[in-house]
Amino acid sequence: GVGLSVGEDEGNGAPFDFDVVGRSYANEDDGGGLAGPISGFAGWFTVDFKSRTDDAGKDVAPQIPNPAYLSTGPEMGYTHWGQQVFHLPSAIPLLADQTTRIQGTLEMMRTKDSARLYNVRLRFSSSRRRTSSQDRDGDVLMKGKPEELVYQIP
């Protein structure tokens, strides 16, 4: 078992909501906007090793005088962990003078077979509006169907 299957409801996940602005024909020289398409999401992790602050552990766990941090983010350069790419089965096009909104949730859980392996579930939908519109929920030109994807991270 992979520990998480499409359709299983383990929880709500962590929400995300962002806009991607398509390149403007009027301002091609200023580098404004992206040409697209969006073909996946990238992920990495950051972890800290510091003293426990929860009620159960703050009085019994050892105090760590010099906390340490580990990040596999792209700004950190090469690590042997690297980043993870979650390819989409179908790309999301970016259109000139339009803003694509992607909103959904990301959920991670350990697999049933190994505590070292994780499954990631992405649930999201996309919509598109004119970039000139300031109303994120109104003036929608296109609304994509909800997607649910599950990936196993080796």
Question: What pLDDT shows up at residue 115?
Answer: 78
Question: What pLDDT shows up at residue 5?
Answer: 47
How far is residue 40's CA from residue 42's CA, in Å, rounded to a whole number? 7
Question: What pLDDT shows up at residue 106?
Answer: 92
81 vs 8, residue with greater confidence: 81
Q: CB neighbours of 61 closer than 8 A, spacing ≥ 6?
A: 51, 52
Angle at 13 between CA 117 and CA 41, to 5 degrees: 70
pTM of the model: 0.74
Question: What pLDDT shows up at residue 152?
Answer: 87
How far is residue 120's CA from residue 45's CA, in Å, rounded to a whole number? 13
Confidence check: pLDDT of 23 > 90: no
Confidence check: pLDDT of 26 > 70: no
How far is residue 128's CA from residue 109's CA, in Å, rounded to a whole number? 31
Confidence check: pLDDT of 7 > 70: no
Max mean pLDDT among 19-23, 78-82, 98-102 falls in 98-102
Contact 94, 84 (CB under 8 A): no
Question: What pLDDT shows up at residue 1?
Answer: 30
Confidence check: pLDDT of 4 > 60: no
Condensed to tens digits (0 to 9), the pLDDT of residues 105-132 reads 999 888 888 877 888 999 999 999 998 8
Confidence check: pLDDT of 31 > 90: no
1 vs 149, residue with greater confidence: 149
Question: What pLDDT shows up at residue 2?
Answer: 37
